Amino acid sequence: MKYIAWQMLTGDRAKYLGLIFAIAFSTFLMSHQVSIFCGLMNRTASQIDDVHDANIWVMDSKTQYLDEVKALTDQDLYRIRGVEGVQWAVPLFKGTSRAKAQDGKFRGVILMGLDDASLVGLPRSVRLGDPQHLRDPETIAIDETGYRFFFPGEPYALGRTLDLNDHTLKIVAIIDSSAPFVNLPVVYTKYTQARDLVGRERNQLSFVLAQAAPGVTDAEVTRRITERTGLKAMTGNAFGWETIWYYIKNTGIPINFGITVVIALVVGTVVAGQTFYLFTVENLKQFGALKAIGVSDWRIVGMILMQAVIVGAVGYGLGIAMTAGFFAATADNLDLRGFRMLPEIMLGTAGAVFLIVFLASAVSVRRVIVLEPAVVFRG
Amino acid sequence: MIEPAVLCSDLYKTFGAGEDAVKVLRGVNFEVPRGEMTFLVGPSGCGKTTLLSVIAGLLNPSQGDLRVLGTPLAQLKGSAAVEFRRKNLGFVFQQFNLLPALTAAENAAVPLLAAGWKRKAAVEKAEEILNDLGLAARTRAMPNQLSGGQQQRVAFARALIHEPQLIVCDEPTSALDAETGHHVMELLRKVAVRPGRAVLVVTHDSRIFSFADRIAHMNDGLVDKIEINSGVSTC
């Protein structure tokens, strides 16, 4: 009977392809949009994710997310260092500036100021150069996006210069950093240098990066820092999620992506459901004949479900392949870096497709179950 | 004495209830002997198709006694009734009802596939029967590549392949021209009528009455006359 179900399904090529296309289109739309959404949300916390040397972030108690910072005082840094359980704590500057190439091309950049001594906060993946040279005066490291923007089509080379706030700074390293939410180049320099490159606010300390002493948990240290200094302290992971949730709650991004996903779900269900239902109705006499001949309702339900599963699996496979193809084709595009399809998204989309084929076949199953086999004797 | 294949005693079938109730069968007494071809004839709306559906186990009678191949069919429930039909009954429909996506041989093999046979074995047996029915060269043709007469012969093969003891045919010639209808009935008589097996044909096509061993006339929900055909056409 599986063979019969398969032949019935694929016998009408137009309907079969219509069903496959409906599922594939829904799958592509859902998996693609959710992937872009997740990538976008991950980007909001990318500078946090790039810090691998310190687990704890300390900031003003009213800070809501990474990109809106109220500066701390140098005194705060010393107070944090004095908290029991803190192995070390270093300053981190995060701000924006404008960089200009020698040919006059300019662009806003995200400026990260790293502790002069330890350079804690620098991403570990270096494309070219030695980040230790950041300790030299008037030096910077720049991410690949920035380098390609300022020096398009040119091979990676060290020693080139950019102007920031009337300082001519030499590039000593090219960094592979995560893509930020706003697709600006990221420039790294030492903390004291960064302070000179931005405006003249009294305090320039954006964050303090700290590490718990051996034997003390991050949770305990963050609790102590908050208790002793009144500042907000949390792990990088928690701060990353807090930043992501800030964007989810305070921007229209999730609503826009959510609408697209719901439309994909509804359109997929309606088109697949309608096509599947029409397919069943047109084969009603044949199903009636099978019932009369002695094929049980359950076997016919099994045939319909098998058809639905085949359509779902093939459509899902094609849709996922389309999404994977999109991300594979754009893998080298630096503007789209960080966007990828996660296994969780594939699983979630599979669940949604299962829902679509279940709903699409449920109506057909009902129609066949209530079908009276005597219908075959009505000419 | 051999028990008839079908024995109906005071059989009633009513559709709907209350004021809307329609009595289609009004106490049918009727039997279909084995080894013969019995025709059930009568004007449109007299209840022929309903009686056929009840005898085939596709509808339950409202009242009365029905024994098919010695089994009180109306008392079989659910899967037992389905199983009974699958093993013991062969069906020939007015519109053939072949599955358009299957070849002639695969269509003929459907009852065996439903019984769990492997496809290859079932199709091989179907090809043998189609060969007997003169369709050896068309076993791999799709239904839309076959003429009406050829499609009906495939339907015969489907009805015969599992060697049922009762074959029920609903207007087997109504979709065919007179000449093809005649040939088809000749063939049906040749391959279907066997000792121990009964063939029940519902028809209003008087041109084929000569193929019946006996003709039951229905009128207004009752079988009111049984006619024995002594000059039955044979091939």
Chain B: residue nearest A6 by CA?
B101
- In this prediction, what percent of chain A has a pLDDT beyond 70? 98
In chain B, which residues have their Cβ closer than 8 Å to the Cβ of A10? 101
A47-75, pLDDT tens digit by residue?
888 888 899 999 999 988 888 888 898 89
How distant is the Cα of A299 from the closest Cα of chain B, in angstroms?
A: 9
Least reliable range by pLDDT among A234-238, B1-5, B33-37, B85-89: B1-5
SS3 assignment for chain A: CHHHHHHHHHHCHHHHHHHHHHHHHHHHHHHHHHHHHHHHHHHHCHHHHCCCCCCEEEECCCCCECCECCCECHHHHHHHHCCCCEEEEEEEEEEEEEEECCCCCEEEEEEEEECCCCCCCCCCCEEEECHHHHHCCCEEEEEHHHHHHHCCCCCCCCCCEEEECCEEEEEEEEECCCCCCCCCCEEEEEHHHHHHHCCCCCCCECEEEEEECCCCCHHHHHHHHHHHHCCEEEEHHHHHHHHHHHHHHHCCHHHHHHHHHHHHHHHHHHHHHHHHHHHHHHCHHHHHHHHHHCCCHHHHHHHHHHHHHHHHHHHHHHHHHHHHHHHHHCCCCHHHCCCCCCHHHHHHHHHHHHHHHHHHHHHHHHHHHCCCHHHHHCC
A358-373, pLDDT tens digit by residue?
887 888 888 888 887 7
- In this prediction, what percent of chain A has a pLDDT beyond 90? 34
Determine whether A182 is exposed, middle or buried from the number of CB atoms within 10 Å of its CB (0-12, 13-18, 19+).
exposed
Q: Residue B169: how many CB atoms within 10 A of its CB?
A: 27
Average pLDDT, chain A: 87
A326-345, pLDDT tens digit by residue?
999 988 877 777 788 889 98
How distant is the Cα of A279 from the closest Cα of chain B, in angstroms?
A: 13
In chain A, which residues have their Cβ closer than 8 Å to the Cβ of B102? 4, 7, 11
The pLDDT score that the predictor gives to residue A169 is 93
A379 to chain B, any CB pair closer than 8 A? The answer is yes
Interface of B with A in 136-155 (CB under 8 A): none
User: Would you say residue B227 has pLDDT above 70?
Assistant: yes
B189-201, pLDDT tens digit by residue?
887 788 888 899 9
Element (H, E) at B169: strand B166-170
Mutate to test the interface with B, among A4, A280, A297, A300 (most CBs of B within 10 A): A4
Task: Report the C-alpha gap between B72 and B89 in whole angstroms.
Answer: 15
The pLDDT score that the predictor gives to residue B1 is 61
A224-266, pLDDT tens digit by residue?
999 999 999 999 999 999 988 888 887 788 888 888 878 877 8
Are the beta carbons of B100 and A1 separated by less than 8 Å? no
Task: Report the C-alpha gap between B76 and B88 in whole angstroms.
Answer: 14
In chain A, which residues have their Cβ closer than 8 Å to the Cβ of B94? 377, 379
Task: Report the C-alpha gap between B224 and B28 in whole angstroms.
Answer: 9
Answer whether A134's CB lies under 8 Å from A111's CB. no
The pLDDT score that the predictor gives to residue A361 is 80
User: Would you say residue A203 has pLDDT above 80?
Assistant: no
Answer whether A49's CB lies under 8 Å from A42's CB. yes
Are the beta carbons of B102 and A295 separated by less than 8 Å? no
The pLDDT score that the predictor gives to residue A23 is 85
Predicted ipTM of the assembly:
0.83
Residue with the larger pLDDT of the pair B174 and A321: A321
What would the mean pLDDT of A84-106 be, rounded to a whole number? 91
Count of pairs with CB atoms under 8 A, one residue in A, one in B: 85
B113 to chain A, any CB pair closer than 8 A? The answer is yes
A3 to chain B, any CB pair closer than 8 A? The answer is yes
Task: Report the C-alpha gap between A36 and A258 in whole angstroms.
Answer: 11
Q: Which of B16, B113, B40 is nearest to A3 (CA)?
A: B113
Strands B6-15, A186-190: pairing kind: unpaired
Q: Which of B49, B83, B114 sits opposite A377 (nearest CB)?
A: B49
User: Would you say residue A298 has pLDDT above 60?
Assistant: yes
Answer whether A349's CB lies under 8 Å from A259's CB. no
pTM greater than the 0.80 cutoff = no
Chain A: residue nearest B107 by CA?
A4
What would the mean pLDDT of A160-188 be, rounded to a whole number? 90
A2 to chain B, any CB pair closer than 8 A? The answer is no
In chain B, which residues have their Cβ closer than 8 Å to the Cβ of A1? 113-114
B15-61, pLDDT tens digit by residue?
888 888 888 899 889 889 988 899 999 888 888 888 988 898 888 88
In chain A, which residues have their Cβ closer than 8 Å to the Cβ of B81? none
Least reliable range by pLDDT among A145-149, A156-160, A168-172, A271-275: A271-275
Strands B198-202, B37-41: pairing kind: parallel
The pLDDT score that the predictor gives to residue B235 is 42
